[in-house]
Each structure stands twice: as structure tokens, then as C-alpha cells.
Structure 1
Amino acid sequence: MTVASMTGFARREGGDAQQTWVWEAKSVNGKGLDVRVRVPSGMDRLEHEVRSRAPKVCTRGNISVSLSVERTERRMQLQVNREMLDQLVRLTRELRDEVDADPPRLDGLLAVRGVLETVEEPEDDAAQQAREQAMVADLQGLLDELVEARVREGQALHEMAERHLAEIARLTEEARQCAASQPEALRERLRKQVAELIETRTGLSEERLAQEAALLASKADIREELDRLDAHVTAARELLDGGGAIGRRLDFLCQEFNREANTLCSKASDVALTRIGLSLKNTVEQLREQVQNIE
């Protein structure tokens, strides 16, 4: 399985001797799957086909599908407006005793505007069914092309996500080296804080001092945060390699990444570690922006 984006576009054209049609599909990111359909009046079955087929190829995204149809050839025939012709015949009979005139001829009656009408020749059911089947086939092709477009975009998102994960892993290792290389700075900070406790609270027992020192040391320890960051990077890479509908799970991991980066910043004992923590937060936010588009 591959990583797919929720963004894509596809267009499919078709036609026969009487009509041409164009299918279009647009897809953008969304929390769930929302399919919107616009087809010409009288083509409700095609709308049903869209709504039944789209969920089989897409699991997330706001998808809009439209169909436009144009006639290329109109088969016309003449038709007599029997109601108007009957009225004219009745009038000539009623007026023949009042008006001294020859009786109207048939060609004269047919020449009266509205008696002869040009109407479109009805199409047989077989031709309509064949056209509808062709439209459905083009619809499936359209959805397949939309999926291909989403997969192509997903490949690009995969590559960008991998780069962000590599940067998170690098910054995590840099934070680990920074914290390990400054034990003396941490001890000096503890000495100063213990001295402040002694000055502000006379008679403080050695046991209480040990407790305060242990508390300060635990607050400054970022090993757990760094280990969790490593675990989250591994989990995210496994999701990307597995593919499929992984967007929601990656979004959750981004929240966990951000939580650990915030904790690291709050525990930072020097400017260098704070800088690393802020860089981590920025990289995580960039990763989250890309993850928002993954299906």
C-alpha cells in the first residue's frame, strides 16, 4: 500500500453520435469522506453511481464530482398540433355561412403558425441505456484517475514527511549530546539552588535538602522525553512505509511530538537546549502541515 494525499483532480471526456459529456472530480483534505455530486436533471441513477463508487476508492477527503452534457446532433421531426388544427376547422365551419369565401385548403391550414411544430425525435431505450453505460464506464475511469493523482501527491508528501522525521531525529540526538555534555553545569545549578534553600529556610534538614536536590535533578532530566521522541520517529516511519489510510494516526503522533518538544523546552537548563527545543517545535509543526493532507 502507498501513501495517498487527499488532494487531487481528474477529468474524463466521452461521447456518442448524439451527445458529448465531461466528468470532473476535485478532492481536498477533510476530516472524513464527504462526496458532493452535480449531474443534469433526470440523471439520478448516475448520481447514485457516484455515491456508491467513491467510498470504494477513497476513505477521506471532500470530493466534488460533476457531469456536464451537450447535444451534438438533434434528430428533429415535424408534428401536427392537433388541438390548434381542430380549432381552425371548427372556426371555418362556424363562419362559412357568414363569410363568402372558398373553404380553406389543407396546405393553408398547415401554413398557420403553430399548426406544424418541429420536435426532437424520441430516442429508443436501447440507445439511452448504451449511453448511460458509457457514462458509468467513464465515471469509473475518472475515479481511478483521481486516485492516481492522489497517490502521486502522496508520494511527494511521503518524501517531505521523511525529511522532517530525519530532522526531528537529528535534533533529538543533538539534545541528547547537549544534555550529556553539561553535567557540571547541572551540578552547579543544583548547588546554587540548595544554597538558596538554606538561606531562605533556616534549620532545613539534610533529608529535606536531599529531597529537593532529587526533585531538581528529576525536573532537569530529559532522557525520557528523548527516548519517546525516538520511539515516535520509529512509529511514524513504520506508518509511512506501510501506507494506506494513515493520516489520522500520523496526526496523533504529531501531537505527541509536540508534547515532548514542549516538555523539553520547559526542562531546558541552558540556552543551547532551549534552542534545540524550539527547532524541534518548528519542525514538528512543518510535519503536521504535511500530515494534514495525507489520507
Structure 2
Amino acid sequence: MTGFASAKGERAPFSWGWELRSVNGKGLDLRLRVPDWLEGLEAALRADLAKAVTRGNVTLSLRLTRADSAANAVLNPGILIAALEALARIEAEAQERGVDLAPSRASDLLGLRGMMEPGAENEDYGALVAQIKSELAPLIAAFLDMRRTEGRALEALLRDQLAQVETLVAAAADLAEARKAAMAETLRANLARVLDNVDGADPDRVAQELALIAVKADVTEELDRLRAHVGAARELLDAGGAVGRKLDFLMQEFNREANTLCSKSQNSDLTRVGLDLKAVIDQMREQVQNVE
């Protein structure tokens, strides 16, 4: 289910902006973009998000700036060493291949991501981290409120589609009942034709085979299961909560029964209803991907 929320905060000399967004996903995929120099922050934010959201591709971004960052910037020695070693390898390879490179400048290295970290190495960010953590709860609340609004719209749409399925199943049941007389007459004619044209045919055996054909063409069980699936889907919607995965599985069962109905129809009108049924089920399945 899609959702979005944003917020801003500050604690001198820092200020920051939050963005929390999600798109549809079969499982839960949390992606956090937070400053890695705030120890323990990412793990805490991830844990809180995992408690609040159960499905979707969720991205949380925290952009933090410091007013006096230039004066308090600290060089990251690990990144510096790695950058210098990489630069040396590049220059050596270029020299070996006869490629001339422009001279390297310190300003190029300083511009690398993570080369300069804000604050002094011994600065305590405990209060800053605590305040940032405290602001996540209202952000999640706003995010979930938007998802609930979308969820109510999705629920209304799914209920309407279930009503369409119910109507089509009723139409299929009427057509299946109406074709029984025609099927019985066809089977009787086939039985008579076989007995007239095949010497020594066992009438009882032929009748059994034709009866099996009739049973295989019967769609009563498929229609009964479709009605049961409609009821189960409505119960899930009534129950609320995180029912997306259960509905997703139920859509597969809907589709299975609709396919079987079409394969057994042996009647153009019943086939048409079966295809209409499949179309509605496909629409439902697409919408269910948005349900948490």
C-alpha cells in the first residue's frame, strides 16, 4: 500500500527533515537512509518501523545538517586511506597504459562522500539521537493515517468487485442449470448412436462412460467454492488488520475455480460468464497487491 509522510525538526546546531514513503510490495522491505555517524540510530528506527508496518517497500530518509558544520568537521581517516590507495592504483594503471591524468587535488578528496564528518570525535550525540527517535512516532502515525485513508477506498472497491463476482456466479449457476436438459438429451443421443453402430458394446459400460463425462462437465463444485471464497474474502475485510497476504492467496483460488469453470462450460453463454468472472478476479488481484 502506498503512503507518504514528512516532517522537520531541529536541535541547535542541527536541523533535519524526515520523509517516509512506501509503495506496493509482496513482503516487507525496509530501506533507511540516515546518518551513519549517529550510533544506534538506524537500528532503533528500523525496529520501530518493523513494528508499525508489515508489508510494502518502505523508505525512510533523514537528512540532517549542522549550522557550524564547516568549523566542526572532522576528517574520516579510514575513508581517506581507502581513497588514497584507490587513487594510487588508478594513477599506476594509467601510467602503465600511457594515459595522462590531471594532477589530483586535495579538494577533490575532501568532496568525497563521508570524507568529512560533522562534529568533534568526542562529541556526545545522545540527546540528539533521543530527540530524533522521539519524532519517529508522530511521523509513522501520519504515514499510517494516509495508508488507512487509501485502505478504506480499497476496501470499498474490493467489496464492489466481490459483489460483481457473486452476481456472475449466480448467472453461471442459472446457465448451468438450464443446460442440464440439453446435456442429458445429448448424452442419450450419443448412447443410442454408440449402441446402434458398435456390435457387442456393453450398454452398461457405455452408460458408465457417458455418466463420467457428465460428472466431469458438472460445475456445481466450482460454483460452490466460488461462493465460499466470496464469503471468506468478506470475512477478511470485516476482520481488518494485515490481511493482504491472505487475500492474495484467496485470489489465486478464485482464479483457479474460474479457469476450471471455463474449461468445463461446453456452452458459449457459460463460457462468456466465466471470462467475465476471470476479468473481475484479475482486477481484484491487482488491487489486493495494495493491501497490507
Give the alignment's TM-score, normalised by structure 1: 0.76
Return closer, same or farther for 1:194/1:129 CA change in 2, 3 Å cut-off.
Answer: same
% identical equivalent positions: 47
- Which residue is equivalent to 1:60? 55
Q: Does residue 194 of the first structure (1) align with residue 191 of the second (2)?
A: yes
- Which residue is equivalent to 2:231? 234
Could you give the per-residue CA deviations for residues 187-214 of structure 1, whole angstroms, max 9, x where no partner exists? 2321343245336643211101220221
46-55 or 13-22, larger mean C-alpha shift = 13-22
- Which residue is equivalent to 2:64? 69
Return closer, same or farther for 1:131/1:44 CA change in 2, 3 Å cut-off.
Answer: closer
Q: Does residue 14 of the first structure (1) align with residue 40 of the second (2)?
A: no
- Which residue is equivalent to 1:45? 40
Structure exhibiting the larger radius of gyration computed from Cα positions? 1
Distance in 1 (alpha carbons) for counterparts of 2:196 and 2:8: 84
Among residues 159, 164, 170, which one is paired with 1:162 in the alignment?
159
- Which residue is equivalent to 1:178? 175
Instruction: Return the letter of the residue paired with 2:146.
Output: A
Q: Is the 8 A contact 1:265 1:274 kept in 2?
A: yes
Instruction: Return the letter of the residue paired with 2:248.
Output: D
Among residues 18, 36, 53, which one is paired with 1:23 in the alignment?
18
- Which residue is equivalent to 2:208? 211
Report the 3-state secondary structure (helix = DSSP H, G, I; strand = E; otherwise coil) of the residue aligned with 1:277: helix
Could you give the per-residue CA deviations for residues 135-188 of structure 1, whole angstroms, max 9, x where no partner exists? 112222212222222222211111111111111100000011111123321123
Q: Does residue 34 of the first structure (1) align with residue 29 of the second (2)?
A: yes
Task: Report the CA distance between 1:125 and its aligned residue.
Answer: 6.4
Distance in 2 (alpha carbons) for counterparts of 1:247 and 1:265: 27
Q: Is the 8 A contact 2:36 2:42 kept in 1?
A: no
- Which residue is equivalent to 1:150? 147
- Which consecutive residues of structure 1, in runs of 5 or more, have no partner in the other structure? 1-5, 78-119
Q: Does residue 220 of the first structure (1) align with residue 232 of the second (2)?
A: no
Among residues 128, 131, 146, which one is paired with 1:131 in the alignment?
128
Total equivalences in the alignment? 247
Give the alignment's TM-score, normalised by structure 2: 0.77
- Which residue is equivalent to 1:254? 251
- Which residue is equivalent to 1:105? none
Report the 3-state secondary structure (helix = DSSP H, G, I; strand = E; otherwise coil) of the residue aligned with 1:44: coil
54-63 or 39-48, larger mean C-alpha shift = 39-48
Distance in 2 (alpha carbons) for counterparts of 1:159 and 1:56: 27
- Which consecutive residues of structure 2, in runs of 5 or more, have no partner in the other structure? 73-117
